[in-house]
Chain A
Amino acid sequence: MFTREIKKGSTELLVLSLLEERARHGYEIGKLIELRSGGRLTYSLLYPALLKLEARGWIKGRWVEKSGERRRCFYRLTSEGRAVLARQKQAWADHVDAIKLIIEGDHA
């Protein structure tokens, strides 16, 4: 439904937002995006994005092995990532408002 460019531009924000609540693993993040977007947004694999965010120091991955479960890498938001998320949320909201003003025209 959405073009690759639109998805690419919002992946960082989506991942950071989902990690704001708690640490999650890659598969869980992908499923949550699909679930919360009502199936309109799907990502086959988020690892390039996760790797990029980790390299920037915005998230941190840690392998966790729970009893009866397979070993998984859980990602959590760093304090720097939290600050970036706050700025990105604001920037995204401003951007959407600006786009709306343009594409919806003057209805006054």
Chain B
Amino acid sequence: MRDWQTFVRTHLPLTGVRPAREARLIGEVAAQLEDLYRDAILRGATDEEADRLAREHVADWNQLAADLAGVDRAARVPPIEQRVEAAVARRSRFRPVWIALATVQQNLRRATRGLTRRPGVAAVLILTLALGIGANSAIFGAVDAILLRPLPYEQADRLVNLFEHNRARGVSREDVRSTTTPTGSARPGSSMGRPPASTSRPPSPAWPGRAGL
């Protein structure tokens, strides 16, 4: 009897099929041809007739190889798509979630393929995005520090700015910490602090004039 394994291996042009799968497919097809051969012998065929029957069983080896390779390729779908198929088959209530995830993955894959196909365009896009994000971050950082973030003091909304104005001498000074808030909580180097208990406190005799907020 013919070595059907070798026969199938030489006739079935399986390209792009995983090696483990290839060995299994060749084994299975060879087993079937061998079964055909044995059945023919049992039915009374001669060795030559049985051999011919088994050899001619597959009419188009190339078509068979293409069918098998196609199924093997389809079987290599990413796990998420398998999950979608399973969810649809089971009519799971999580179908929309899996379908949405698969769509996102599909879009990402398509985008990656497009970008790798045109690396120049990809570089310009990525650089533009990077600059845009960087500029946005810088502007937001400045706006946040200047306008949005509260000052690092307790009850920052009650902070006041004190100043004095001496009409007689015609001078003004803004840093009145030492005279108007001797026990004030202003931090060194800052003219701001908690407002005194009474803002109508009389000004220092050395500075007859107006004090204001």
Give chain A's interface residues, CB within 8 Å of chain B. 25-27, 30, 44-45, 47-48, 51-52, 54-57, 70-73, 80, 83-84
Q: A26-B32, A70-B31 known; A83 and B75 CB under 8 Å?
A: no
Inside 8 A of B67's CB, which chain A residues have their CB? 48
Q: Which of A26, A44, A71 contacts B57 (CB under 8 A)?
A: A44
Structural contact, A48 and B68, CB atoms closer than 8 A: yes
Structural contact, B89 and A55, CB atoms closer than 8 A: no
Q: Give the one of A47, A71, A80, A83 with max B CB within 10 A.
A: A47
Apart from the given pairs A26-B28, A48-B68, A51-B72, 5 other A-B contacts in the complex at a CB distance below 8 Å: A27-B31, A30-B32, A44-B58, A45-B64, A48-B64
Number of CB contacts from chain A to chain B under 8 A: 59
Inside 8 A of B35's CB, which chain A residues have their CB? 27
Inside 8 A of B72's CB, which chain A residues have their CB? 51
Question: Separation in Å of the A64 CB from the closest CB of chain B?
Answer: 12
Q: A45-B58, A47-B25, A57-B86 known; A72 and B31 CB under 8 Å?
A: yes
Interface: B164 (CB within 8 A): no
Question: Separation in Å of the B54 CB from the closest CB of chain A?
Answer: 11
Give chain B's interface residues, CB within 8 Å of chain A. 24-25, 27-29, 31-32, 34-36, 57-59, 64, 67-68, 70-72, 74-75, 82, 85-86, 89-90
Question: Separation in Å of the A105 CB from the closest CB of chain B?
Answer: 35
Structural contact, B89 and A80, CB atoms closer than 8 A: yes
Inside 8 A of A30's CB, which chain B residues have their CB? 32
Structural contact, B75 and A55, CB atoms closer than 8 A: yes
17 A-B pairs with C-beta separation under 8 A: A25-B31, A26-B28, A26-B32, A27-B35, A30-B32, A45-B57, A47-B28, A47-B29, A51-B68, A52-B74, A55-B71, A55-B75, A56-B89, A71-B27, A73-B24, A73-B28, A83-B90
Structural contact, B31 and A47, CB atoms closer than 8 A: no
CB nearest neighbor in B for A81 = B89
A26 to B32, CA, bound (A): 7
Nearest 7 A/B pairs, CB to CB: A55-B75, A48-B67, A27-B35, A51-B71, A27-B32, A52-B71, A48-B71
Inside 8 A of B82's CB, which chain A residues have their CB? 57
Q: Give the one of A25, A30, A48, A73 with max B CB within 10 A.
A: A48
Question: Separation in Å of the A16 CB from the closest CB of chain B?
Answer: 13
Structural contact, A80 and B86, CB atoms closer than 8 A: yes
CB nearest neighbor in B for A50 = B28
A28 to B25, CA, bound (A): 16
Inside 8 A of B29's CB, which chain A residues have their CB? 45, 47
Inside 8 A of A56's CB, which chain B residues have their CB? 85, 89
Q: Which of A44, A55, A73 contacts B59 (CB under 8 A)?
A: A44
Inside 8 A of A84's CB, which chain B residues have their CB? 89
